[in-house]
A and B are shown apart, each in its own frame.
Chain A
Amino acid sequence: MERSPHITVHDLAVRYGDYVVMHDVSFTVRRGDVFVIMGGSGSGKSTLLNTMIGLVEPATGEVLYDRKSFTRAAPHERREMSRRFGVLFQFGALWSGLTLAENVALPLEQLTHLGRREIRDLAELKLDLVGLGDFTEFYPDQISGGMQKRAGLARAMALDPEILFFDEPSSGLDPVNARRLDDLIIELRDSLNTTIVVVSHDLASIFATANDGIYLDARRKTVTAWGDPKELRRHPPDRHVQAFLTRTADEESP
């Protein structure tokens, strides 16, 4: 399998005013990886993801897809590039005024030249894939949080993206549903060779799905470990990573 770099994050720094959220963040995600962004609360995991998808502008550094800069791209090029990735937001972020089928159909309606019938079929297929085939006419507020998340995934997959971003996919899900989502992630990677970037602090899900990842340290505000999480657990580079990956309380020393 071709394992070329798919996403490159180069010397990224993010600031809100004078406050540095992170600095000197560099890593690459290879094609077909399930790449996890780990870190404790407040370490900037979600901010990093938002920077990668263009919702937050970095202070310095850049994000490249297939060696082409996304950060420095002109707005229309950026729109073109962003159609190649799908995003599952932490709480699904379904459009509340639309039914599930309409939610999944909207990207297809707006960004492709497919006919009404084809769009309808594709939307139903994607909802079937996530097990929501019976709920196509439901509105987001009529279904549970876990179902909203799966519907969000169906929408993220609408345009058959090359890259899928997941923001805390298992948060708010019970263990069984969280595991189902993990299986779905692996299935997507294997069947479509999708590159997957996951923000997570759910250890079970990290070890079950990821084959590469970084650890963002909340104190040092940068990447302190990069590698396969299972490998990092065996050979942690420092005690914070070790504490995170083995779920032991990280004793604070002055």
Chain B
Amino acid sequence: MEGTSSSPPSLTLTRPAPGALLLELGGTWQVGEATPPAALVEGEIDAGHPDHVRFDTRAVVAWDSALVSFAARVSTSARTAGATVDRGGLPDGVQRLLVLVDATPAQRAAADNRPASALARIGLRALARRDTVNHVLVAIGELTVALGKLVIGRAKFRRGDLSLQMQSTGVRALGIVSLVNGLVGLIIAFISAVQLQSFGATLYVANLTGIAMVRELGAVMTAIIVAGRTGAAFAAELGTMRVTQEIDALTTLGLSPVEYLVLPRVVAVTLMMPLLCVYAGLVGVLGGAVVGVGVIHTPPQLYFDQTIHAVSLTDLFGGIVKATTYGLLVGAAGCFMGLRAGRSAAAVGKAATSAVVAGIVLVIVACGLYAVVFYRLGL
């Protein structure tokens, strides 16, 4: 192939005799060149119904898979139309590759991968929903049994795992929990300062910030951080362990993955959340104090007296109870999304995403339920 320079690919269709179709190819038939589409020939075959298709490639300067793919498509459609194909005119290499293409047995797909009809899709969706509900119920059951075993001291897991998880879900989260809750306290203080200024009641900034942070927002903001940090980590870790068969290895030893892997993680996050929540409330109050003392010039002593006066123990315990619940929900969602993940990298990514989404949704729903319950109880 001593092509001078790259000449554009060309295709001419001629009918040298009735019932015969000759494809004259020329130029550079390479990927990336504007090669004529095979559909052109297919249209001609459909219209003209030739009995015989022949190639002439003497004018072809250079070729690669583009020509092979073109010839393969033309051959297939010619044969389907009932015409014979003479490949004698194709370059030697192309002929040999086409023999390989034909020899590859059509791999029958394991499952029918054609998209289902709309009705079938609705049905499949509904069945998938039912499966999800089943999985959730099974997960709740398994976790309850495991927690029960923990209480009677018969759960099998490494005690070291628990402290390790408490460290990574609790201590290591302090930085981001401080940042977010400090800023939230600051923002609330600013908003309330602007509103309360019109009544000349800026002292009550302390009340608003204190109650909001300790009772509600400390727990919710921390839960959202933990869902993104720890929930995703749980899902990714357990999902990867499924891919590498580490979970299978546990199962075949007769060890329960729920006891051994889920329990220490869920317990760790459930124990750490109330602590983080109390800390978050404190940082939030400090953030509010920056505005209260620094911007609206409340004397520091007065600001803190006012806060301590406003925030009751009930508020604090309310926050702690909520945070414990959120921790349980986020941890369980993360672990079970990981355990149910598929066996591929994409599936692990999906599990981590679902863990965060499910964690946050559960936290917000629980927050709403608590609001109603606390209101009813008059707390």
* A90-B245 in contact (CB<8A): yes
Q: Mark A96-134, 1 if CB is under 8 A from B, else 0.
A: 100000000011011100000000000000000000000
- CB proximity of B123 to chain A, nearest CB, Å: 14
* B111-A87 in contact (CB<8A): no
Residues of A within 8 A of B111 (CB): 16-19
Given A19-B110, A19-B111, A85:B252 Cβ within 8 A: yes
* A93-B254 in contact (CB<8A): no
- Among candidates B246, B253, B255, residue contacting A94 with C-beta atoms closer than 8 Å: B246
Docked Cα-Cα span, A252 to B102, in Å, equals: 12
Residue of B nearest to A82 (CB): B254
* B156-A110 in contact (CB<8A): yes
Q: In the complex, which of the residues B241, B248, B252 has the most CB atoms of chain A within 10 Å of its own CB atom?
A: B252
* A89-B248 in contact (CB<8A): yes
Count of A-B contacts judged by CB separation below 8 Å: 58
Docked Cα-Cα span, A54 to B253, in Å, equals: 11
Given A17-B111, A19-B110, A252-B105, A82:B245 Cβ within 8 A: no
Residues of A within 8 A of B246 (CB): 93-96
A91 contacts B by Cβ under 8 Å: yes
Contact-residue bracket for chain A = 20 to 34
- CB proximity of A199 to chain B, nearest CB, Å: 14
Residue of A nearest to B237 (CB): A97
* B105-A54 in contact (CB<8A): no
* B110-A110 in contact (CB<8A): no
Residue of B nearest to A167 (CB): B245
B249 contacts A by Cβ under 8 Å: yes
Residues of A within 8 A of B241 (CB): 95-96
- Among candidates A16, A19, A93, residue contacting B249 with C-beta atoms closer than 8 Å: A93
**Which residues of B253-302 have CB atoms within 8 Å of chain A's CB atoms?**
253-255, 260
Docked Cα-Cα span, A55 to B260, in Å, equals: 17
Residues of B within 8 A of A96 (CB): 241, 244, 246
* B156-A55 in contact (CB<8A): no
Given A91-B244, A110-B156, A83:B249 Cβ within 8 A: no
A231 contacts B by Cβ under 8 Å: no
- Among candidates B158, B251, B255, residue contacting A54 with C-beta atoms closer than 8 Å: B251
Docked Cα-Cα span, A16 to B343, in Å, equals: 15
Docked Cα-Cα span, A54 to B255, in Å, equals: 13
Residue of A nearest to B245 (CB): A93
* B248-A55 in contact (CB<8A): yes
* A80-B254 in contact (CB<8A): yes
Docked Cα-Cα span, A110 to B246, in Å, equals: 16
Residue of A nearest to B161 (CB): A97
Given A19-B110, A252-B105, A83:B245 Cβ within 8 A: no
**Which residues of A199-254 have CB atoms within 8 Å of chain B's CB atoms?**
252
Residues of A within 8 A of B251 (CB): 54-55
Docked Cα-Cα span, A35 to B103, in Å, equals: 35
Residues of B within 8 A of A107 (CB): 253, 255
Residue of B nearest to A55 (CB): B248
- CB proximity of A197 to chain B, nearest CB, Å: 13
A53 contacts B by Cβ under 8 Å: yes
Given A17-B111, A96-B244, A252-B105, A89:B249 Cβ within 8 A: yes
- CB proximity of B248 to chain A, nearest CB, Å: 5
Residue of B nearest to A18 (CB): B111
Docked Cα-Cα span, A78 to B105, in Å, equals: 42
Q: In the complex, which of the residues B156, B244, B246, B251 has the most CB atoms of chain A within 10 Å of its own CB atom?
A: B246
Q: Mark A35-59, 1 if CB is under 8 A from B, else 0.
A: 0000000000000001001110000
Docked Cα-Cα span, A17 to B128, in Å, equals: 13
Given A93-B245, A96-B246, A53:B252 Cβ within 8 A: yes
Residues of B within 8 A of A180 (CB): none
Chain A residues engaging chain B, CB cutoff 8 angstroms: 16-19, 50, 53-55, 78-80, 82-83, 85, 87, 89-91, 93-96, 106-107, 109-111, 155, 159, 252
A-B contact pairs, 18 of them (CB 8 A): A19-B110, A19-B111, A50-B248, A54-B252, A55-B251, A78-B254, A85-B252, A87-B248, A91-B245, A93-B248, A94-B246, A95-B241, A96-B244, A96-B246, A110-B253, A155-B249, A159-B253, A252-B103
A-B pairs with lowest CB-CB distance, top 6? A79-B254, A93-B245, A93-B249, A89-B245, A82-B254, A87-B252
| 14 further A-B pairs in the complex, CB-CB below 8 A; given A82-B253, A111-B255, A252-B103 | A16-B111, A17-B111, A18-B111, A50-B248, A53-B252, A54-B252, A55-B248, A55-B252, A87-B252, A89-B245, A94-B246, A95-B249, A110-B255, A111-B253
